[in-house]
Amino acid sequence: MHPQIALRRRRTSAGLAAAVATMLALAGCAVQPAPSPSSVPPSPATSPNSEVAPGLPITLDPAVIPGLDSSVDETLQAGDYYYISLPKVPGQEAWTKALRDELTPQLDRFTASTPGTAKAPYPEFDANWDLVASSPKVVGVRLSTDEYGVNGAFAGKVEYAWLDLAGGVIRPSSDLIAADQTAEFFSRVRTAAAEESSIDAELIRTQIAGDWKGGLNAVGFTTTGRLWVEFDRTKATQAHGSVGVAIRSDGLLSEFGQAARTAALTPTDPSTGQSAPTTAASTPVPSATSAPASPSPSIPKPTATKSTSAKPTATPTPSDTPNCRKLKCVALTFDDGPVAGTATLLDVLKSKGVHATFFVVGKNAAVNRSLIRRMVNEGHVVGNHTWSHKQLTRLTDSGIRAEITKASDAIVKGGAPTPTLLRPPYGATNATVSKVAASLGMAQIMWNVDPLDWKDRNSAKVTQRVLAATRPGSIVLSHDIHPTTRAAYAAIIDGLRAKGYTLVTVPQLLGTITPGKKYFRR
């Protein structure tokens, strides 16, 4: 473990607040369909830079860093439609705080620009991350935000934040490039961008002009070791997609850049220098070039979780399954995890002999695979809360499908059965979401008891609200990412049982479910 370090952020003159580069898009707003990996042009083979294939932008399996966790920080949230996730590297809590501090002004500005709660579509702010490099010398993450302001106006940014473990600083992307190679770097970027028909070079002129003052701060690596350079997607193209180019890295990298490249291509545990035993070195991102928007760094094959039909599916009912036709059944549901702290809630449920239903975020399931396995082993049901917690009602059919199937893939990798239960983030659904859910064989599980645990983060209030609002057949919503919620559940379970309730999973509560249908209670 590395000593705790006081991080200071090295800045380029443009500063990180400058709206940088591209993002991963979420297809929101009626964008184009998400491509399947095979539909993405794999590489601009025509590029004069292509002595080696450009490869695909790297995102790493989070298992390379044991104990890596998502910090799902709702204390940053100023509204109902905010989802903020940052990386939490063991021993590097100061880094998470630095990233969080950096995000705060952007959030404040967004909140100030979206007063009140207007009408749907509601203002939405999402922040997500991907691990892109890891070694005892350097850890890299790609941070992306999506902002949907008043009337759905889209903004957001992407940056790569490079943690220099030896120096104890967060370095900007410019530090990957040797100072005397700046001109050559931008020259290669300009050439590559000019070859991309989907990039409007004029619109990103300032970013590629020849120095870092234009705000470029999203540089990583591809699977073949090239530099991956992302642009401000709100400028580079009309689409919301991830927009960038892969350029040759030879001769360009600083000493730090070379260490970062090694950490991207052959990632190791920052504490031990060991590579992860069970994981592949890297997972390519399909949107290698200026490909159209993809809802997440890798697009699942639609077949991965596709059910055979939209017929109602009966839940297996062992003889000891509670009979909810006769009993006062209640289903406890927990959203947004798993995070490391979810283990404490699992401890409570285990000690009380309660089985619950967890609607997990795919990105968090990928980070905390062992907790998915534990949920299954201890009799809980794992449902799908999408890959990156986007408001699905903004997305196209294929964007919705990708958000769901990628999460299901991560859940299955964790050891759970393919989910048949979907909880749309924010409870936001419409005819398109219902149609996609039905085609994937999934029912939409809403709720009718909401203690607003994310808002107050007060165990006593959460307990009192759940006990006051629960009725026979209720589905109770909570969030296992909050310590205050986890701490409330021993008392909630005791209180519900004292009122004669039987605590069951959602499948036990509902019995036969119909794909696509919305359920608020039994």
CB of 423 to Zn ion, least distance (A): 7
Give me the DSSP letters along 266-333.
S---TTT-PPPTTS-S-EE-S--SSPPP-SSSSPPPGGGS--S-SS-BPPP--TTS--TTTS-EEEEE
- Is the torsion defined by CA of 286, 292, 296, 300 positive or negative? negative
* Residue 372: strand, helix, or coil: helix
CB of 336 to Zn ion, least distance (A): 4
- Is the torsion defined by CA of 341, 342, 347, 348 positive or negative? positive
Site residues (CB under 5 A) for Zn ion, limited to 192-231: none
Q: Which is nearer to Zn ion, 289 or 296 (CB)?
A: 296
Site residues (CB under 5 A) for Zn ion, limited to 424-453: 425
Q: Which is nearer to Zn ion, 186 or 454 (CB)?
A: 454
Q: Which helix (H) or strand (E) covers residue 369, if one does? A: helix 369-377
Site residues (CB under 5 A) for Zn ion, limited to 149-188: none
Q: Which is nearer to Zn ion, 336 or 453 (CB)?
A: 336
* 453 is known as an active-site residue: no
Stretch that binds Zn ion, among 42-50, 70-78, 330-338, 467-475 (CB under 5 A): 330-338
CB of 445 to Zn ion, least distance (A): 12
CA dihedral in degrees (143, 149, 155, 159; nearest 10)?
A: -20
Q: Which is nearer to Zn ion, 336 or 403 (CB)?
A: 336
Pick the catalytic residue from 335, 336, 409, 453: 335
State yes or no: residue 336 binds Zn ion (CB under 5 A). yes
CB of 356 to Zn ion, least distance (A): 15
Residue of minimal Cβ distance to Zn ion: 335
Closest listed residue to residue 413, CA positions, set 507, 268, 506, 280: 280
CB of 100 to Zn ion, least distance (A): 19
* Residue 356: strand, helix, or coil: coil
Give 341's DSSP letter.
T
Residue from 61, 69, 147, 335 binding Zn ion (CB under 5 A): 335
* 335 is known as an active-site residue: yes
Q: Which is nearer to Zn ion, 284 or 425 (CB)?
A: 425
Q: Which is nearer to Zn ion, 287 or 478 (CB)?
A: 478
Could you tell me how many residues of this chain bind Zn ion (CB under 5 A)? 3
Stretch that binds Zn ion, among 32-40, 420-428, 455-463, 470-478 (CB under 5 A): 420-428
State yes or no: residue 124 binds Zn ion (CB under 5 A). no
- The radius of gyration of the chain from alpha carbons, rounded to an integer in Å, stands at 23
Q: Which is nearer to Zn ion, 290 or 364 (CB)?
A: 364
Q: Please, which residues have CB within 8 angstroms of residue 108's CB and are 6 or more apart in sequence?
A: none
Closest listed residue to residue 188, CA positions, set 11, 44, 287: 44
CB of 114 to Zn ion, least distance (A): 19
For residue 333, the cross-strand partners are 357, 477
Stretch that binds Zn ion, among 21-29, 94-102, 327-335, 427-435 (CB under 5 A): 327-335
Q: Please, which residues have CB within 8 angstroms of residue 465's CB and are 6 or more apart in sequence?
A: 449, 451, 452
Site residues (CB under 5 A) for Zn ion, limited to 340-359: none
Site residues (CB under 5 A) for Zn ion, limited to 376-405: none
CB of 115 to Zn ion, least distance (A): 23
Stretch that binds Zn ion, among 32-40, 235-243, 333-341, 466-474 (CB under 5 A): 333-341
Structure tokens at 11: 């800045």
Distance of alpha carbon 378 from the chain centroid: 26
What is the C-alpha separation between 448 and 520, in angstroms, rounded? Answer: 6
Pick the catalytic residue from 380, 389, 479, 482: 479
Binding site for Zn ion (CB under 5 A): 335-336, 425
Catalytic residues: 335, 479
